Amino acid sequence: MAEIGSETVLRMADDASVQHVGDGAVVLLARSGQLYTCNDTTEAFLGKVNGARNLNQIVDLLSDEFEVDKATLDQDMAELAAELVAEGILADPGA
């Protein structure tokens, strides 16, 4: 799994797109045709990923939305980001 640090700048993979549907969202990977459903947390996280913000900045924005300890949010979002990189939804920050 990719190592995601607080200063890692995150961006969507070139072939990934997020579509908001009803009460949630799905991510489409164009190259494979795979669809991933998102929970509220993942949808909020992906909504903050813009290719300019690092993980720490995204966590700061999310801490305004969710009532959770920042240390817990830091850890959870780093793990989520690593999973999304592994799935090909986020671009590999090391590439």
Give the CATH number, domain containing residue 57: 1.10.10.1150
* pLDDT at residue 13, as a whole number: 96
CA distances from 53 to 8, 60, 93 (A): 8, 11, 12
Give me the residue label for tokens 């995150």.
Answer: 10
The domain containing residue 65 runs over which residues?
A: 16-87
5 is a domain residue: no
What parts of the chain have a pLDDT lower than 70?
1-2, 94-95
- pLDDT tens track for 53-63: 999 999 999 99
92 is a domain residue: no
29 is a domain residue: yes
93 is a domain residue: no
Total count of domains within the chain: 1
57 is a domain residue: yes
- Rg of the chain (C-alpha set): 13
Strand partners, 37: 26
94 is a domain residue: no
What number of other Cβ atoms are within 10 A of residue 30's Cβ?
11
